[in-house]
Amino acid sequence: MPARSLQTASISFGLVTVPVRLYSAAEHSAAISFNMLHAKCGTRLKQQYICPKDEEIVTRDQTVKGYEFAKDQYVTFTADELKAMDETSSQAIEIAEFVPIAKVDPIYFEGAYYLGPDKGGERAYALLAAAMRESGRSAVAKWKARGKMYMVLIRPADKGLVMQVLHYADEVRSFDEVPVGDSAVKDSELKLAMQIIDQISAEDFNPHAFEDEVKKRYQEAIQKKVEGQEITAAAPEAPRGQIIDLMEALKASLAKSKTAAEEEKAAAKRAKAEPKARKRA
């Protein structure tokens, strides 16, 4: 079933305009969510705004938006004042510059959209995608939408273009704020660590090999509850021992990963041999 586009937009590429459609690249509503109920009768609860000063419930039409510029001090804005500051949603995606994709730190990545050509824009879309693949560069652009100005990265994918919404520089914290110490790495430790990496390395990223185990656990528990079954709490994991000797820990990790790799290889060999055995039988 073809994906449904979220909205239309246009990419400004020099004097060329590329009409495009935006499609969701990920499903954000898949997380398990719960409603707050009254424990006494099981009725779903409603949220209310309460003024702690007047000790009364405040309805939405009695509220006003305010910005706290100092402790307990606010400046208020009307709906018209806030609307006047919003960016006009022109749906324009204006390319500012082209940069090597490797130069953009993934820490700036936020949400992502697939871009597909809109009617009449197929040739210009294909040209832009091909040119970026050939140059090895992606486009940093400004996107005016939903009353905001977004910084985005348009990058070529296997079949077309992806638009990655980016954080602004002032939204990304510096790693200098994180204490990492100044421990020296020994050559022998580095050699063992590299061996562990080599043993559990893969040539390609395969996201299908992973699943949200917590979500799956919740879904199974919910189904049991729906069927009237009781849920037994799992035993807590035994705490891991503190690393005393880094070299010994590395050696143990290497032996464990080697055993796991051998078991996986043997299982794959058995799975491959089973159809042949059934055929002979």
* Contact between residue 42 and residue 33 where contact means Cβ atoms under 8 Å apart: no
CA distances to 116, 132, 133, 226 from 112, rounded to whole Å, are 13, 18, 19, 35
- Residue 56 domain-assigned (yes or no): no
Same domain, 22 and 113: yes
Amino acid identity at 171: E
Query: Are both 141 and 18 inside the same structural domain?
Result: yes
- 1 within a domain of the structure (yes/no): no
- 76 located within any domain: no
Which CATH number goes with the domain that contains 166?
Answer: 2.40.290.10
Task: State residue 167 phi and psi, 5-degree precision.
Answer: -75, 150
Walk along the chain (281 residues) and give the pLDDT tens digit of each residue.
678 888 899 898 777 889 999 988 877 555 688 899 999 999 999 888 999 889 899 988 899 899 898 898 988 888 888 777 765 656 789 999 999 989 999 999 998 999 999 998 999 999 999 999 999 999 999 998 877 889 999 999 888 999 999 999 999 999 888 888 888 888 988 888 888 888 888 888 888 888 888 888 888 888 888 888 877 766 666 665 555 576 777 777 777 767 766 777 666 677 666 665 555 65
pTM of model > 0.95: no
The whole domain housing 262 covers 186-197+247-281
CA–CA dist 181, 227 (Å, integer)? 53
| Judgement on whether residues 254 and 160 belong to the same structural domain of the protein | no
Q: Is the residue at 100 inside a domain?
A: yes
Q: Which residues, including other chains, have CB under 8 Å from residue 122's CB and lie 6 or more apart?
A: none
Is the residue at 90 inside a domain? yes
Answer yes or no: is 16 within a domain. yes
| Length of the chain, in residues | 281
Same domain assignment for residues 115 and 253: no
Task: Decide if 164 is inside a domain.
Answer: yes
Asked whether residue 274 is domain-assigned, the answer is yes
